[in-house]
Amino acid sequence: MHREVEIGRTVLGRPIMAIHFEPPSYARPRPPAVLFGAIHGDEPLGAHCLARLCEDLLERPPGRDTWIIPALNPDGLAAGTKNNANDIDLDRNFAASNWVPEHRPGYRPGAAAESEPETQALSALIKRIGARRFVAVHSPYRLLAWEGRGRALAEAMAEHNGYEVKADRGYPTPGSFNSKYGRDGNLEVVTLEIPFLEEDEAWAQNRAGLRYAVDLPT
């Protein structure tokens, strides 16, 4: 069973859509998983691969309660820009303990933590459903980075796509999703970085790993 849920609206009023998939009745209860892409609008492969994953899950449901947000930043995706319509880097806007107002060029964190409607929508969903497993899909590296309790999941996904596994993305990420939910929350957080490939190739490389993240027996 699945349903589309509007979890919020962007700065420009576009709906932020999540697709909720329920597992089969025989599946052992597990905390929900949330997968999201295009938090940066100039990284469209995440949105593409998660849309393809949704099609896959229509044919064979996941093994756990699963929420997929193909595009967290629809305004940026439509414009081809990294940041949202307020020119805020949403992955520096989360209320993590390391959020700071200072920033490098292109990484504006907002006037305050979780000032942006897109960030608010994702945070509210996570709080409401009690999710504990997260996969954020980015580009352009060939990498699986983990925070919190995400190491085993990252390593298992890497067995399917052959990507490098690291404890973090290798550079400071104040106010990031990973900082709030992985470092601060000690939850299961994985960042899947997909290199800039043709859409079909990106999906072929990552289909099995993304399915693993939402399937049994994990």
Closest CA to 65 of 7, 131, 124: 131
Query: Distance between CA atoms of 94 and 189, rounded to whole angstroms?
Result: 14
The yes-or-no answer on residue 198 being catalytic is no
For the record, the structure tokens of 10 come out as 């962007």
Active-site annotation holder among 59, 193, 198, 199: 193
**Cα-based distances in Å from 162 to 9, 36, 100:** 36, 21, 35
Alpha-carbon dihedral sign for residues 83, 89, 93, 94: positive
Query: Distance between CA atoms of 119 and 84, rounded to whole angstroms?
Result: 10
Q: CA triplet 145, 150, 153: central angle to 5 degrees? A: 90
* Continuous segment of H or E residues that includes residue 129: helix 117-129
List CB contacts of 104: < 8 A, sequence separation 6 or more.
none
- Give the residue numbers marked as catalytic: 193
